[in-house]
Amino acid sequence: MTAMIDMHAHWKPAEVADALRARTKEPRIGRDQDGVEVLMSRMGAQSLASAFDDVDTHLAQMDRLGVEMSVLSLLGTFCWIESQPVEVALPLCRRVNDGFSLICQKHPGRFAAFAALPLTDTPAAAAELERALGLPGMIGAQLPGNYFLTRADAEAVRPLLEVANRHRAVLLIHHGPRPGDAFPKVAGDTDNARRRNGTLDMQASLSSVMVTLCLTDILAPYPDVSIQVHNLGGNIPYEVERMDHRSLLDTPDEELPSSRFRKAKVYVDCNSFGSRAIEAAVSLYGAERIVCGTDGSAFGVDWTRKALADAQIGEEAREQILHGNAAAMMARVAGTVHAERAAA
């Protein structure tokens, strides 16, 4: 069984526990009716024993499931730290990033990580990305997908793209709000709210992200950055035929969207999707542009392994997705960091 590199493994860091205790709105740490501390969020109350991740537990899960390396990133319910005023966000992000790096140092070869950034202040975010990329194990940063819904939206993160490009770093573009965005779009009391937010809206938003990244010139000045979009880049593998059809009718002299998606240097991960979707993604993007993602859960690993085993894509493609593509992405970052350290 080929060992998996999991490029999409979310983490719940205990480093922000004191900050959660100081908060007056969710997510926050409060006490239940018995006086016991619990993490309170829109998902309900959760025991502190399971509210944060534990390295030894995660390593045991990785060993049991055949995961060689997990690339850690903040779980969405912890990304609130990035949207606070910079004087609050920056110390919290530094604490998280230092914690990620410490995990990587203590367990070489088993972990890498995406940095958290103080997104309310772009110069501070760029400076923290620069600092974080000098820490052992850090390979890039996670950014909210709403920054890439349109080309105009993406202008705001050019300073981060510049830093990432210089370091040959990886940016994980994950569905989520920019500071100040209303989120989620569908209220919790709506019928099927989780289906609407967690699949319908998420996938549509990721499709828009891919259109921005692949069908505009926003990435042209940054040839050395590696971009990863989760969940197979939204619904593009299924919608691209319609895009091509409309393009032939509306703009017949324009290169077809399918060709542009195939040429673009954007990776997607296969988190939460089944074999038929993976086959469609391989057909559109090519196996060399797909990596593994599981959200960091045992359920996610089992689901992804089964989906890849069942997909009719061939063993070479399966190995690329499970291991080879991610290893090559991270080697580019490590090589740059080592070269910079030697020059210093």
Average pLDDT, the chain: 94
Which tens digits make up the pLDDT trace of 191-242?
999 999 999 999 999 999 999 999 999 999 999 999 999 999 999 999 999 9
Lowest-confidence segment of 54-63, 117-126, 178-187, 333-342 by average pLDDT: 333-342
The domain of 320 spans 4-12+53-343
Residue 340 has pLDDT above 90, yes or no: no
- Asked, for residue 23, whether it belongs to a domain, the answer is no
pLDDT given at position 25: 85
Lowest-confidence segment of 23-32, 59-68, 284-293, 313-322 by average pLDDT: 23-32
pLDDT given at position 5: 97
Which tens digits make up the pLDDT trace of 19-68?
899 888 889 988 988 888 889 887 788 888 888 999 999 999 999 999 99
φ, ψ (nearest 5 deg) of residue 4: -95, 140
Alpha helices in the chain (DSSP H): 17-22, 48-51, 55-65, 86-106, 122-132, 151-154, 158-166, 193-195, 202-215, 236-250, 257-263, 275-285, 298-310, 315-319, 325-343
pLDDT given at position 26: 87
Return d(Cα 200, Cα 240) in angstroms, integer.
Answer: 17
Which of the two residues, 1 and 252, has the higher pLDDT score? 252
- Asked, for residue 142, whether it belongs to a domain, the answer is yes
- Asked, for residue 132, whether it belongs to a domain, the answer is yes
Number of domains in the chain: 1
- Asked, for residue 47, whether it belongs to a domain, the answer is no
pLDDT given at position 45: 85
- Asked, for residue 35, whether it belongs to a domain, the answer is no
Which tens digits make up the pLDDT trace of 239-250?
999 999 999 999
SS3 144: strand
Residue 188 is part of a domain; what is its CATH number? 3.20.20.140
Return d(Cα 30, Cα 45) in angstroms, integer.
Answer: 9
- Asked, for residue 191, whether it belongs to a domain, the answer is yes
pLDDT given at position 177: 97
Residue 344 has pLDDT above 70, yes or no: no
Cross-strand partners of 5: 69
Return d(Cα 125, Cα 279) in angstroms, integer.
Answer: 37
Return d(Cα 304, Cα 9) in angstroms, integer.
Answer: 13
- Asked, for residue 135, whether it belongs to a domain, the answer is yes
pLDDT given at position 36: 85
Residue 278 has pLDDT above 70, yes or no: yes
Q: Which helix (H) or strand (E) holds 44?
A: strand 44-47
- Asked, for residue 34, whether it belongs to a domain, the answer is no
pLDDT level of residue 342 (50, 70, 90 thresholds)? very low
